[in-house]
Amino acid sequence: MGEKTLGFVGAGRVARIILGGLEKAGQMPAKIVASDTNPEALKRLQSGFPAVRTELNNNREAAVQDLVLLGLHPPAIAGALAEIKDFLKPDAILISLAPKLSIARLTEGLGGFGRIVRMIPNAASIVGKGYNPVVFSGMLHREEKAEIQALLGALGKCPEVAEDKLEAYAVITAMGPTYLWFQLHELRNLAESFGMSAGEADTGVAEMAAGTISTLFGSGMAPAEVMDLIPVKPLGEEESHITAMYRERLEPLYKKLKN
């Protein structure tokens, strides 16, 4: 994909994540343009990626690139689509990184432009370990899909899924790290307070987390059997409260994204 140019409409976190993954994989395109309404977002992006050309309040320059990544929150997308639709090249591909807006709605907002990919990005893409489900519009040829998958493959796994499942992936895989990071970080801090070195704490927590996942999903045992492998459960009395909290917070969020 080195010969393709890249345009980001929105220069926030998701742009930094994707560029970080591409840079780590050695697959940074030669030309990258990023636009945003926030000068601080542009400044932060360029500080991490000096080769990126930034544009303040000028989505046109990002929109005329070969691959245009739409990295905005859903409420801001309609206005951006109206702004960029007349500047997209006929053979460009737009990659939407947001939930909620279907390919049909994006195509309508772009005045009929349908060369669209939807992807739900995952933060671990910044280290090439992301899980980024994708959907391709019917207007893309097989070769074009393969080319996009090769680029996105630098970010981690990018399975092709049904479009009506993308909002579920947004809640589970895109936002999922936020449900776990603070807990793992606190375990790391506790490990140091108990006398482990920083390196021992990092390794211990990381290996524990990886093994925990492998056991739950790869042992062939029933979940109840896995959870019964350790007799002492310091947080056992809180488990019902925690699982109830997940449902109380995430089910309404999913319904909001689907409506």
DSSP 8-state secondary structure symbol assigned to residue 140: S
Interatomic CA distance for residues 16 and 14, integer angstroms: 5
Does residue 15 lie within any of the structural domains?
yes
Same domain for 154 and 199: no
Distance from the Cα of residue 123 to its chain's centroid:
5
Residue 1 pLDDT greater than 80, yes or no? no
CATH code at position 104: 3.40.50.720
Q: How many CB atoms lie within 10 A of CB 161?
A: 15
Q: Which has more pLDDT, 2 or 61?
A: 61
Same domain for 147 and 117: yes
CB-neighbour burial class of residue 246 (10 A; exposed 0-12, middle 13-18, buried 19+)? exposed
pLDDT band, residue 49 (cuts 50/70/90): very high
Does residue 212 lie within any of the structural domains?
yes
For residue range 104-159, list pLDDT tens digits in order: 999 999 999 999 999 999 999 999 999 999 999 999 999 999 999 999 999 999 99
pLDDT at 133: 98
Residue type, 82: A
Does residue 80 lie within any of the structural domains?
yes
Does residue 171 lie within any of the structural domains?
no
Does residue 167 lie within any of the structural domains?
no
Domain total for the chain?
A: 2
- Note down the domain range covering 191: 176-258
For residue range 207-242, list pLDDT tens digits in order: 999 999 999 999 999 999 999 999 999 999 999 999
Q: Which two tokens stand for residue 234?
A: 């310091």
Pairing label, strands 32-36, 6-9 = parallel
pLDDT average, residue stretch 12-23:
97
Same domain for 186 and 61: no
13, 47, 153, 201 from 214: Cα distances, Å: 29, 37, 23, 20
3-state secondary structure 182-234: HHHHHHHHHHHHCCCCHHHHHHHHHHHHHHHHHHHHHCCCCHHHHHCCCCCCC
C-alpha atoms less than 13 angstroms from C-alpha of 132 in its C-beta half-sphere:
33
Same domain for 146 and 73: yes
For residue range 162-204, list pLDDT tens digits in order: 999 999 999 999 999 999 999 999 999 999 999 999 999 999 9
pLDDT at 36: 97
Does residue 228 lie within any of the structural domains?
yes
Does residue 169 lie within any of the structural domains?
no
pLDDT band, residue 3 (cuts 50/70/90): confident
Does residue 92 lie within any of the structural domains?
yes
41, 102, 105, 168, 180 from 215: Cα distances, Å: 40, 36, 41, 24, 17
Same domain for 182 and 91: no
Same domain for 180 and 156: no
Same domain for 180 and 75: no
Same domain for 195 and 154: no
Same domain for 237 and 152: no
DSSP annotation string for 149-193: HHHHGGGEE--B--GGGHHHHIIIIISHHHHHHHHHHHHHHHHHH
pLDDT average, residue stretch 48-62:
96
pLDDT at 2: 47
Domain boundary among 135, 162, 189: 162
Same domain for 13 and 135: yes
For residue range 63-114, list pLDDT tens digits in order: 999 999 999 999 999 999 999 999 999 999 999 999 999 999 999 999 999 9
Same domain for 248 and 198: yes
Domain boundary among 114, 132, 162: 162
Same domain for 127 and 71: yes
Domain boundary among 162, 186, 212: 162
